[in-house]
Structure 1
């Protein structure tokens, strides 16, 4: 492939990586990771609420990695209030998983910026082999994709397996018990998914630029070395 086309592909990949970095930074700071509805089970049982009456006992909740907002509904109107994970809910939530999600999100942001720099360096500079050349581009793209997958897996397990929404809703609730009525992942979670897919697209752009995948390249070199050994 001509050098000019390679520069264009690397520039496109660099722009995509930088867009991912900006999107990840925005996602980390928002509370739009999950939206759900919380049922006040105790209040609904007291009045035996069914049908439309049950709506009076269903509140809303949304949160991100650091803070969130909840509307408490127990039949007497909504009572909104905000909460933060640190330090308020630190002892209630699965702290190790939640901190891991934050750390991997920050790592994904850093690796996306590194990936941007290496793509631009390969487009306009004179890259070395190993980590500065195509091998480095494959490496940083794969690491970024892996971080994105880990973020989604850990956050999903925190929400679904450890019932994060219920633990938040029942925090400091003495006489009322709240249960998750429905929940769905919000914009920031899907931003992480899209960014992970864009890193896969970057890997395909590197291959389209004419650079072999690292493992296939190593096999070719081993075959060539073996042929040389046979010749001599």
Structure 2
């Protein structure tokens, strides 16, 4: 492939990586990771609520990685209040998983920025046949994709397996018990998914530019001369 087309492909990949970095930064700071509805089970059982009456006992909840908002419904109207994970809910939630989600989200942001720099350096600079060249592009793209997958797996397990919404809803509740009525992942979670897919797209763009996947060369092919051999 001509060098000019390679530069165009690397520029496109760099712009996509930078867009991912901005989106990840926005996702980390919002409370739109999950939306759900919480049933006041105790209140509904007391009046034997069914059908439309049950709606009076179903509140709403939404939260992100650091804070959220909840509307408590127990038959007497909604009472909204905001909460934060640190330090309020730190002893209630699965803290190790939640902190891991935050750390991997920050790592994904950093790796996306590094990936952007490498793509732009390969487009306009004179990279070497080591981590500055196509091997580095493959490496950072794969690491970014892996971080995105870990974030989604950990957050999903925190919500579904450890019942995060119920733990938040029952925090400091004395006589009332709340159960999850429904919940779905919100915008920020899907942003992480889209960014992970973008990193896979970047890997395909590198291959389209004419560079073989790592470890795909035959054993008898000549090895690169290291940092002294120019890629272009």
| Alignment CA distance shift 1:172-1:107 (3 Å) | same
Following superposition, the deviation at residue 217 of structure 1 comes to 2.5
Following superposition, the deviation at residue 88 of structure 1 comes to 0.1
| Alignment CA distance shift 1:230-1:172 (3 Å) | closer
> Relative to total residues, which structure has the larger helix share, 1 or 2?
1
User: What is the aligned partner in structure 1 of residue 39 from structure 2?
Assistant: 39
| Alignment CA distance shift 1:226-1:146 (3 Å) | closer
| Alignment CA distance shift 1:205-1:42 (3 Å) | same
| Alignment CA distance shift 1:34-1:217 (3 Å) | same
List runs of 5+ in structure 2 lacking aligned partners.
none
Q: Summarize deviations over 1:95-123 as a string: whole Å, max 9, x none.
A: 00000000000000000000000000000
Q: Is the 8 A contact 2:129 2:230 kept in 1?
A: no
List runs of 5+ in structure 1 lacking aligned partners.
none
| Alignment CA distance shift 1:104-1:77 (3 Å) | same
Q: Distance in 1 between matches of 2:127 and 2:165?
A: 48
RMSD of the TM alignment (CA)? 4.5
| Alignment CA distance shift 1:149-1:59 (3 Å) | same
Q: Distance in 2 between matches of 1:52 and 1:225?
A: 74
| Alignment CA distance shift 1:181-1:229 (3 Å) | closer
Q: Summarize deviations over 1:51-95 as a string: whole Å, max 9, x none.
A: 000000000000000000000000000000000000000000000
3-state SS of 2:222 partner:
helix
Q: Distance in 2 between matches of 1:231 and 1:83?
A: 53
Moved over 4 A (4+): 222-232
Q: Is the 8 A contact 2:145 2:197 kept in 1?
A: yes
| Alignment CA distance shift 1:83-1:51 (3 Å) | same
3-state SS of 1:81 partner:
strand
Q: Is the 8 A contact 2:126 2:231 kept in 1?
A: no
Following superposition, the deviation at residue 130 of structure 1 comes to 1.3
Following superposition, the deviation at residue 41 of structure 1 comes to 0.1
Q: Is the 8 A contact 2:20 2:112 kept in 1?
A: yes
- TM (norm. structure 2) is 0.95
| Alignment CA distance shift 1:13-1:158 (3 Å) | same
Paired residue total: 232
